[in-house]
Amino acid sequence: MIEKIKETVKKLFKENKIDIFIGYSEGTLPLRSTPCFITRSEDIEKLVWNSYCSNNLAVYLPRFFVSQRGAKDAKLPRIGILAKGCDGRSIVGLIKEHQIPRENIYIIGIHCGGMINTKKIKKVDIVAAEEKNDKVLVEDEDKKKVELKKEELLADMCKTCQYTAPAVYDILLGKEKQKTKKEDREAFIKEFEKKPLEERWEYFQEQISKCIRCNACRQACPNCYCKECFAEQAKPRWIGPTNDISDVMFYQIGRIFHQAGRCVDCGACVRACPMGVDLRVFTYKLIKDVKEFFEYEAGVSLEEAPPLATFKQDDKQEFITEP
């Protein structure tokens, strides 16, 4: 697979179709791949494709198109990007929200079999790892090797992914992957919804109190491209910058609600969070509600109008009046 990717990228550079390519290269830690920016064709060899390519690369795109003062006539870069299903959906979102021009993005779509969540490996002292088909071989300090099933290590969002390949692409590589059943992916949130209000509130508070306001969730999110986040606005000032529970709560609620109808469940925020805050239970609730109320899923079509930017006579309204 990696050879195919390299070949495609090589061709793109050769045919002068892109100025820069964003993919993954080998990370410095076991079970890690790292985002990689290629501008010279000799660096293409650095590219890798494995089960650790978890970062959503779409997050890097808007910054290339932020208009620089005095550079109005500057030529916009043409960017090639490797896109898993979720990355691809984020790209669609960014195009629809006019953050990136479609014609400047060359999307190499790839069928994704899901990415590993390293936190699921309880054995903490891994010094090396190797991926072999559906298994991961990890090695500890004493050179002891343990074989783990990849399936058991998959990140939660990957386990229930419905869009393993992007809907919008210029070329699509790889073989189609099996999707989970629809009812499966909503099981966890339905379970959560059943709990009494107090219990849900308690869970929210418990999770939120872990937050240290490092902003990693926001910075890792392709949707969070706002030049000035409400959380930092000084005039008017909505919240303080501290890790006080009231500040944190307002920050999280504000940020998460801004994702309604936009979140693609890529899990970038969850992965970036160093404190292990279960953000997905909140973002997924939004996804489910938007789907239920408006029959809309983010990032799967360039044409369909975003639900929160349109009004239809028959839009559901109960959720406003009867929360």
Partner 1 sequence: MENKKFKIIKKKEILKLLESLKKEYSIFVPIEDNGDARFSEFKSGQDIFWDYRNTKISPKEILFPQAETLFCFGPGAEVKAEGSTPGGKDYLIFGIRPCDAQAISLLDKVFGGEDFEDPYYLERRKKTTVISLACSKPQIDCFCTSLKGKPENEEGADIILFDLGEDVLAGAVTKKGEKFIEKQNKWFKDAGQSDVDKKDKLMDLSLNKIKSQIDIQNIKEKLDNAFNDLLWNEIHQKCLGCGICTYFCPTCHCFDITDEINPKAADSKTPEGKRVRCWDSCMYPLFTLHASGHNPRPTYKERMRQRIMHKFNYCPENFKEIFCVGCGRCIRNCPVNLDLREVLVSLMSLGSLCKDKKI
Partner 2 sequence: MNNPYLPIPVTIKKITIENEARDIKTFDLVFNVKKETEKFKYTCGQFAEISMLGIGEAPIGIASSPMDEDLVQFTVKKYTTGVVTSALHNLCPGDMIGIRGPYGNGFPMKDFEGSNLVIVGGGFALTTLRSLTRYILHKKNRAYFKDITVLYGARSPGELIYKSELKQWDQRDDINVHLTVDRGDKNWKGRVGLVPNVLSEIAPRSENSIVLVCGPLIMVKYTMLPLMDLGFKPEKIFFSLEMRMKCGIGKCGRCNIGPKYVCKDGPVFTYKELQGLPQEY
Question: Given candidates 66, 234, 309, 320, which one binds partner 2 under the rule CB under 8 A?
Answer: 234
Tokens 């790892």 belong to: 129
Closest by Cα among 2, 5, 13 to 40: 13
Binding partner selected for residue 218 from partner 2, partner 1, none, CB under the kind-specific 5 to 8 Å limit: partner 1
Binding partner selected for residue 197 from partner 1, partner 2, none, CB under the kind-specific 5 to 8 Å limit: none
- How far is Cα 165 from Cα 139, in angstroms, rounded to an integer? 31
Question: Under the criterion CB under 8 A, does residue 123 sit at the interface with partner 1?
Answer: no
Closest by Cα among 271, 222, 269, 264 to 117: 271
Alpha helices per DSSP H over the chain: 2-14, 61-65, 85-96, 150-153, 156-159, 182-194, 197-208, 216-220, 245-257, 268-272, 280-294, 318-321
Largest CA distance in the chain: 66
Binding partner selected for residue 32 from partner 2, partner 1, none, CB under the kind-specific 5 to 8 Å limit: partner 1
Q: Which is nearer to partner 1, 168 or 217 (CB)?
A: 217
Interface with partner 1 in residues 175-214 (CB under 8 A): 210, 212-214
Q: Which is nearer to partner 1, 7 or 125 (CB)?
A: 125
Question: Under the criterion CB under 8 A, does residue 242 sit at the interface with partner 1?
Answer: yes
Interface with partner 1 in residues 16-55 (CB under 8 A): 27-30, 32-37, 55
Residue 130, classified by CB atoms within 10 Å of its CB into exposed (0-12), middle (13-18) or buried (19+), is middle
Interface with partner 1 in residues 270-309 (CB under 8 A): 271-272, 274-276
Question: Under the criterion CB under 8 A, does residue 72 sit at the interface with partner 2?
Answer: no
CB of 233 to partner 2, least distance (A): 10
